[in-house]
Structures are given as structure tokens and as C-alpha cells.
Structure 1
Amino acid sequence: MKIAIIGLGDIAQKAYLPILTQLENIELVFCTRDPETLTRLAKQYRIKETYQDYRALTKANIDAVMIHSSTTSHPLIATYFLQQGIATFVDKPLADNAFDCEKLYELAEKQRVPIYMGFNRRFIPLFQQCYGAKNLRSLRWEKNRYNLAGELRTFIFDDFIHPLDSVNLYAKTTVDEVNIVTQFEGELLARLDIQWQQNGALLQASMNRAHGVTNERVTFNYSNSSYQFDSFVSGINWNANQQTLLQLADWTPMLASKGFVAMIDDWLNVVAQGKLDRQIMNRNLASHLFAEALCQKIGKL
């Protein structure tokens, strides 16, 4: 399988290349406008085929493309490859607005080619071991950063979409019956908390970018059973008044603990099959539509 990687910045170098370059039967092609980065990484990973213009990749006979460029460039690049009938991976978000997201999904449907979203938090193995029980009572996903208040749309689409999608289990698309709390520092959004109830579960997503430290915490509850995770490698379960420590096996690689290994494996299966499950597609689009609804609602407030 031959896959092109477009954009070789921080996220590609930290999360994707260390995994993809170790996989058997995968041939990689690198593409970035930065010639110095292209030369350095091609040498480091012994990549023979490189490009500076993504449009030239159509000559490379690739099976799929993975887009890790800036958010604003996602729609243009993804559109180009979907039009060529090439399976396309986009590191979240798909775009910074719902209009472009819907256009891309319509194009993917028309071309009958999968467009895949890089939501690694759906694949965190420690959490997946604990999910699955019926009658979820509540789920709260809290992600905080230090001293990083930001512009509303960037805050929501580039960052808040992580906890938002993580709790959006039932593909909600609107802000109807959603409680929204915001805190601003001047014109910059510093904190956003939302909650709603769906299918009997209380769902909460929170992000404070004026927090004392960068961290992430996840809690969820079933009847008389509660879970708390302050990292991706360990947590606590309280059940029947007893506490149990939960943790991944020793020597679990960091990128596996953060869900990237399982997500990439899932993506490669989608490429091989040439299709993505409809339910997953609906949730992917729903989280982007929800993010747009939040931008519109908060903007009016």
C-alpha cells in the first residue's frame, strides 16, 4: 500500500511518522513545501520519493493520502484528492467551518471514496477496556491548557473539538437543549463548558485555556460504578465501595497509549476495504456541525 503524507510539521513528526515508518507493506511518499524539512525527514526515514507540490502526487500512483497541513488548507487539499478517487485521511478538524465540511462529505459520497477523520481519542486502549457497559449515566471530558486564550473559531475547531467529539457519542449536531458557559479574556475565549443529556446520559465537555497547567481528565459513570482517568496510562475504578487501580501493561508505547496506533490500523483497514462505516461518518460530520453551532451561538451572545 502506497500512502502520501502531506504536511510534515509537529503533529506528523510526533504522532504519525514514528508509527507509519515502522509498518510492513507500507510505502510512504513525503510532501511538504519546506525543502529543508523534506530533505531532513526523507533522509531520516529513508524515503525515496518526495514532492513539494501536493498536486504532483497524482503521478506517484498512491493508494491513499494523509493530510497534516494547517486547518485552513484542509478543504482545498482534501477536495483535490477526493476528486481523484483517492482515500483521504485528515487530521482533525476537517475544516474550520461546517459549510466546507458538508461539501467534502458530499464529494466523498459522490466519488464513493472514504474520507477519514483523525480522532485518536476514540481509540485510547485504557478507556476502551472500560467502555461498553450498558446504561451510561454520565461522561465528562476535561482538557485544559496554560495561558492560551484564543479566537473563538480557532479555540473551538482546532482544540475544543477534542473533548467535544469525545463526548458526542450519539452524533448530536445542534446546540438545542445544551447548557453553554463561557469565560473571555478581552475578546479571546479562555474557557468553554457545555453539557446536555442524551439517551439517558449526562454529557459534559470542558476546556479551560487559562488553567494553571496543561492536563486532561476523563470521568464516566455507570450504575454504582465510576471511573476516573488523569492520564492515558492509568486510572481508578470504584465499584461496590471498592477501589481498583487500572493501568496499561508495562512498556506500552506512548503513541499506543494515546490511541494513535489503533487509529492508524483502523485507517489502513478502511483504505483496504475502500469504505467507512456510515455510523462513523455520521459522528465525524456531527461533531463538526456541533462545533459550528457553538461558534454561531457564542458569537451571538
Structure 2
Amino acid sequence: MRVGVIGLGDIAEKAYLPVLSTLPDLDLRLHTRTPETLRRIAAAYRVPAEHCHADLDGLLAGGLDAAFVHAATSAHPALVTRLLEAGVPTFVDKPLAYTLADSARLLELSRERGVGLMVGFNRRHVPAYAASRELPRDLIVVRRNRVDTAREVRTVVFDDLIHVVDTLRFLAPGTIEHVDVRARVVDGLAQHFVLHLSGAGFSAIGTLNLRSGSNEEILEVSGRDTMREVYNLADVVDHDRGLPTARRRGDWTPIARQRGIEQLVLAFTEAVRTGVFPDLDDVLRTHEMCELVVTEVEKLTG
């Protein structure tokens, strides 16, 4: 399978290429506009020079069976459009775009062309998160903390809060009927968000603090006198009527597997082979909720 990797920044280098390079049936092709980065990554993963491209036209001319897009979010619409129009099944880091309109257009293009498209919501593949769907989930809490990363509202919502939004949607045990949004914005920069989703018999609360004292993510799922806590996608503490049981990730568990990246790569390559891709409507609903958050915060702060 001829697989293009577009954008060779941190997410590609640290998360995806270590997985892709171990799969024996993949023939990697690289694209970035930065020559030095292209040379360095090609050397590290033994990609021949003829499979390294500083322009997208050259990459497409060589023929692709699939592509991974790890470029900046602002570049997603143009890149994904080119790939889908060229008939290349495409994996793209979340979000699809910074606006709901662009995201919806790309999803519709995928449908119109009959070309597979998958968005990288890795939390859905984190073992401890996926297993939490089997537990009672009357109350779901996701707390995501960052250090000194206050930014413009739309950018933060679609690049960072989207993790919280999609995790709450993924774990919600029923239809979300109510959405409440609160935020603190200072001089146009988002400081924190609080999101409350609810439906019949459950509440799901998510927070993103961009001026916290720590970089961390904590999930709590509880109901029927049980609770599961997951720290930083890895360490799990289960509570049953007051009795805690702690489980740390195995010392030899690869980080890519712990964070759901390995599972995402395997799911996408299998989808390319079978032609069966995840539900695009579900992808759109997460982007719709992010757009709703932006709108509500603008009302609160405008």
C-alpha cells in the first residue's frame, strides 16, 4: 500500500511515523515544504529520495493508495480537498477545519466522490477510555489542563477543546438533549471553558483550563456506586463501593498504543482495504458541537 504522509511536524514524527514505519505492507511517501525536515525524516525512516516530495503535485503524481494529513489545521481544507478529488482515501488529524462550513463541505465531498475519509479522534481508541463504555455512566467528567496556552477562542475550541467534546460524546450513554457552555475570555484570549451536556439519566461535564499549573487529563466515569478514574490516558483507578483498585499501564506498553494512535492507524489502513469507513455523520456532530461552543462563548463575551 503506497501511503503518503503529509506534514512532518511533531505529531507525525513522534506519534504516527513510529507506527507506520513498522507495518510491513506499507510503502511510505513523504511530503513537507521544509527541505531539511524532509531529509532528516527520510533518513530516519529509510525512505528513498524518489519517494520524498517538497510539493503535493509530485507526491500525487507518484500514485497513492492512502494518505495521512498531519499539516497545520489551517491547511486541512485545501489538502483534503486535493486528496479526495484525486481519489485518495484520507486520514486527517482532528479537526477537519476551523469552521463547521468547511468541515461539512469536506465530508460531503467524501460522500460525493465515494472516497474514504477518517478523522483522528484518538481518545476513542485509548484502551482505558474505550473500556469505560462498558461501565455505568450516570456522570462523566473530563478535566483537561494546560499551562499558559491561552489563545483565540475558535482556535482553542477546534484544536484543543474538541478532545473534551468528542470524549464526552463518545462516552455519553444516551442522546444529548441539553448543552450549557461557560467560559472565561480575557482580551480576546480564552482562559478556560466549562461544558455541561445532559440527557435522560446522565450528565457529562468537561473542562479545559488553559492557565492551569499542570498539563494533564483526567477522566471520571461513575454510576451505581462505582467509579473509574483515568489519569493522562494511562493509569486507572477503579472504585467499587469505597474500595479502590489501581492499575498502571504496563512498563512495556508502547506510548502510541496507550494513546490510541496505533489503533487509529490500524483502523484506517483496514478501512482502506475493506472500503468500510467510520460514520461521517458522527464526525460532523462533534464539529457541530464545537461550532455551537464558539457561538455561545461569543454571545457570553460579545
TM-score by length of 2: 0.93
Matched with 1:23 is 23
Matched with 2:186 is 185
SS in 2 for 1:129: helix
Structure 2's unaligned 5+ residue stretches are none
Matched with 2:278 is 277
The separation in 1 between residues aligned to 2:162 and 2:129, in whole angstroms, is 18
Q: After alignment, is 107-116 or 242-251 more displaced?
A: 242-251
SS in 2 for 1:295: helix
Write out per-residue CA displacement over residues 233-272 of structure 1, whole angstroms, 9 at most, x where no aligned residue.
2121111332211233331111111111111111111111
CA distance 1:169–1:130, change in 2 (3 Å): closer
Matched with 2:163 is 162
Is 2:182–2:297's contact at 8 Å kept on the other side of the alignment?
Answer: no
The separation in 2 between residues aligned to 1:58 and 1:27, in whole angstroms, is 14
What is the RMSD of the two structures over their aligned residues, measured on CA atoms? 1.9
Displacement of 1:199 after TM fit? Answer: 4.4
The separation in 1 between residues aligned to 2:89 and 2:215, in whole angstroms, is 34
Is 1:136–1:200's contact at 8 Å kept on the other side of the alignment?
Answer: no
Amino acid in structure 2 at the alignment position of 1:4: G
Is 1:195–1:202's contact at 8 Å kept on the other side of the alignment?
Answer: yes
Displacement of 1:128 after TM fit? Answer: 2.4
Matched with 2:289 is 290
The separation in 1 between residues aligned to 2:67 and 2:143, in whole angstroms, is 31
CA distance 1:186–1:161, change in 2 (3 Å): same
The separation in 2 between residues aligned to 1:146 and 1:72, in whole angstroms, is 23
CA distance 1:80–1:243, change in 2 (3 Å): same
Would you say 1:136 and 2:119 are equivalent positions? Answer: no
Q: Residues 89-238 of structure 1: matches in 2 within 5 Å? A: 89-133=91-135, 135-169=136-170, 177-238=178-239
Amino acid in structure 2 at the alignment position of 1:282: D
Displacement of 1:95 after TM fit? Answer: 0.2
Is 1:113–1:275's contact at 8 Å kept on the other side of the alignment?
Answer: no
Amino acid in structure 1 at the alignment position of 2:231: D
The separation in 1 between residues aligned to 2:77 and 2:35, in whole angstroms, is 23
The separation in 1 between residues aligned to 2:134 and 2:228, in whole angstroms, is 13
The separation in 1 between residues aligned to 2:264 and 2:224, in whole angstroms, is 30
The separation in 2 between residues aligned to 1:187 and 1:144, in whole angstroms, is 19
SS in 2 for 1:179: strand
Structure 1's unaligned 5+ residue stretches are none
Displacement of 1:176 after TM fit? Answer: 7.2
CA distance 1:51–1:17, change in 2 (3 Å): same
Displacement of 1:88 after TM fit? Answer: 0.6
Identical aligned residues as a percent: 30
The separation in 2 between residues aligned to 1:84 and 1:233, in whole angstroms, is 39
Matched with 2:43 is 43
Q: After alignment, is 103-112 or 227-236 more displaced?
A: 227-236
Matched with 1:239 is 240
Count of residues in correspondence between the two structures: 297
The separation in 2 between residues aligned to 1:271 and 1:105, in whole angstroms, is 16
CA distance 1:230–1:277, change in 2 (3 Å): closer
Is 2:237–2:244's contact at 8 Å kept on the other side of the alignment?
Answer: yes
Q: Residues 253-268 of structure 1: matches in 2 within 5 Å? A: 253-268=254-269
Displacement of 1:216 after TM fit? Answer: 0.9
Displacement of 1:299 after TM fit? Answer: 1.2
CA distance 1:126–1:148, change in 2 (3 Å): same
The separation in 1 between residues aligned to 2:255 and 2:121, in whole angstroms, is 16
SS in 2 for 1:276: coil
Write out per-residue CA displacement over residues 14-57 of structure 1, whole angstroms, 9 at most, x where no aligned residue.
11111111111111000000011001111111101111111222
Moved over 4 A (4+): none
CA distance 1:129–1:196, change in 2 (3 Å): closer
Displacement of 1:200 after TM fit? Answer: 2.5
Displacement of 1:170 after TM fit? Answer: 7.7
The separation in 1 between residues aligned to 2:241 and 2:296, in whole angstroms, is 42
Amino acid in structure 2 at the alignment position of 1:209: L
